[in-house]
Structure 1
């Protein structure tokens, strides 16, 4: 598909894309990307849902957070879109935010989807992501080549080009701040997963080396109403590269979360 830029609305310092009508579906992207990373989901699901897709703070049209924010600070900024109950779905760092929102805003979150989420990284993976974070100075434009290679390999595609452009254009300070938070998190704790009161979908790709199927299964086992879905041929950018499978899973999940 064509990864075109969408018009935004604003809620304070938060910019977001909105589309459709119906039950609310809140989509939260990962580090370095922007709301358009969900274009395939917006196109497919806005016939059934009111979709809100914010830019993370410091990304796209959203203002950066001040100081040295924590994951919860990202959640608090995005929580202003929970003025009515919603199903919250996040990808990568967005999945961490989605799970945090589900834990702390139980009355407003009817279901949570965590796509390509990390949980208890291996020591090697933890060291690698923290080393990448330490290399960022917050002033120099991001070099997307390493991330693009991890996500897409060497094959050219519209999805690869779109992510390259988004990473190249992201605010260096906003990216550094978000990536540092992402690198120093290790996923939700067991107690928060066990205390989830809504259905929880943990979904990842079978070829995903960092947010592995084992991580998704471990989180689903802890959540009272957890379920796992693995798209065997997909890797990290699953919502963009395998939208048919992701859209079908999200539609089935969201329909099951309705009162």
Structure 2
């Protein structure tokens, strides 16, 4: 599936996206997928394939990733939320089911808080939530290093993958996407990711729609404890932990992730579900 380009309002340039499945219902409430830092919409291939059989699915390239234009250097998480709002408006999406991975989860969670009328459901995959001081300092230092133009592909791959067959297969694809990413766009997104997890962490009780928080049981940075905390903080939250997987769980355990997302898409929006 090839990407399509859509012009956004100033100052956001163009967004690249993948569109699959047939719009259903009136109005259409598509599943909108937001990937993590260093990735691109192609990283959602297993979810696009599975979900588009029954739902309208749109996967966006984040700014400075894939075919999307960059945001200005130094843009913070709130600028990424403004970009996402502009993207939804340009694509004519009034209300969506949001799925975010890692940095995409920060955007999706923040957007559900800031624009609740635009979100039917929100799923946060391998999201970060209230990092402790040591974790926060570590990720800020990595962001500063990337900002100097120093970018080591192998370092994130070692954190994100084990040596199981499913991990080895996904690792090759992820390594390729990381190698292709624009360093300036990567640095801008990673800096927003490093500093953004505390921005909305005290406001998750304002998320009224059904919230799914899912992560890998062995993810050292987007930990199971974080997913449980996000689910508990939201009004209608549920946490799912996929054991023996790490950060790229949508690629290493696609069947389990897809099943969880299909179930989440059938939660009633009117009342949501408890943990």
TM-score, normalised to structure 2's length? 0.87
Q: Which runs of 4+ in 1 moved over 4 A?
A: none
Within 5 A, what are the aligned runs for 1:1-259?
A: 6-12=1-7, 13-21=14-22, 22=24, 23-79=29-85, 80-81=87-88, 83-137=93-147, 139=149, 142-154=151-163, 157-187=168-198, 189-257=200-268
Distance verdict in 2 for CA 1:215–1:198, change over 3 Å: same
Distance verdict in 2 for CA 1:190–1:175, change over 3 Å: closer
User: What RMSD over aligned residues (CA atoms) do the two structures have, in Å?
Assistant: 1.7
Q: Distance in 1 between matches of 2:52 and 2:198?
A: 29
For each residue in 1:90-114, what CA deviation from the matched residue of structure 2 results, as whole angstroms up to 9, or x when unmatched? 0001000001111122112000001
Distance verdict in 2 for CA 1:17–1:104, change over 3 Å: same
2:130–2:201 contact (8 Å) kept in structure 1: no
Unaligned stretches of 5+ residues in structure 2: 8-13, 271-275
For each residue in 1:88-143, what CA deviation from the matched residue of structure 2 results, as whole angstroms up to 9, or x when unmatched? 01000100000111112211200000111111112221121111111124546x32
TM-score, normalised to structure 1's length? 0.92
How far the C-alpha of 1:250 sits from its partner, in A, is 0.3
Q: Distance in 2 between matches of 1:257 and 1:54?
A: 25
Counting matched residue pairs gives: 253
Which residue in 2 is equivalent to 1:3? none
Unaligned stretches of 5+ residues in structure 1: 1-5
Q: Distance in 2 between matches of 1:67 and 1:205?
A: 31
How far the C-alpha of 1:183 sits from its partner, in A, is 1.1
Secondary structure of the structure 2 residue equivalent to 1:136: helix
1:138–1:175 contact (8 Å) kept in structure 2: no
2:211–2:237 contact (8 Å) kept in structure 1: yes
Distance verdict in 2 for CA 1:139–1:214, change over 3 Å: closer
